[in-house]
A = this chain, B = another copy of it.
């Protein structure tokens, strides 16, 4: 790897970029005190708000809303049945107040009944056409350019990059390879239950209207252990739901945890402590106390998309 090439050209010079480069140099220097063999160079990334934009709402929610609208022709009763009615009436206030029970009903209605392959195709097709309401380009172009460069930089240094998302694993798998270069087997996420079914000799899996596991908070390091079986040496997140994954990674020596702080209202969004989606409070405090590098999107990133 020629040292002269700047893989992080989309990052402004400064302490955050320096810390990343120094860490990567340290763990890849053979014979050095903190050298890490290639197979142990595991890097884990949250998705929503870390790798791509999560405002004004999660992309997966936009998909769910559009699915409800698309499916509503076959479900005339939904016009009078919550939470579907609120969606069909585009009642923004109600949308932001859905209970957990209502959210589950939405997942059941829009995510279940298909095979995993069918679901990924459905989500992939939707992503082809859907547009971000503010930026007016595809959601797939809402990935942060500096994070794409960071993924490439780590892979060029023989890191294996994983997504560890609180979102639905199959939704993320529908685009992770195309957008991030991360194949489905390196995506962890929240999951719904699958049922094994024999149709004659033909065995299939069918998605059930039931949540399997939630990949958030303490669930992130637990899922990492189960899925990867290695302790990550690099982690990036942007919200309190990522805190435990960042703590877990920072507890390994060497280990590097990076917190993305949305402080750029002009180019993207600015939010932290009081945000409903992507709340960043405890993790910001712990990152500051532990001197984990904190990305200021405004100061550290030359471009956003």
Contact = CB atoms under 8 A, between A and B. Distances in A.
B204 A222 contact: no
A290 interface: yes
Contact of A244 (B203, B228, B230): B203
Contacts of A116: 225, 229
Contacts of A218: 196
Nearest to A248: B203
Interface in A88-125: 116-117
B228 A184 contact: yes
Contact of A290 (B194, B201, B227): B201
Interface in A207-228: 212, 218, 221-222, 225-228
A229 B196 contact: no
Interface in A170-209: 170, 173, 183-185, 187, 191, 194, 196, 198, 201-205
A7 interface: no
Interface residues of A, number: 37
A15 B160 CA distance: 40
A169 interface: yes
B205 A248 contact: yes
Nearest to A204: B251
A231 B117 contact: yes
17 contacts: A117-B231, A160-B185, A170-B229, A173-B229, A184-B229, A184-B230, A185-B228, A187-B229, A191-B226, A194-B222, A196-B244, A196-B248, A198-B247, A203-B221, A204-B251, A205-B222, A227-B227
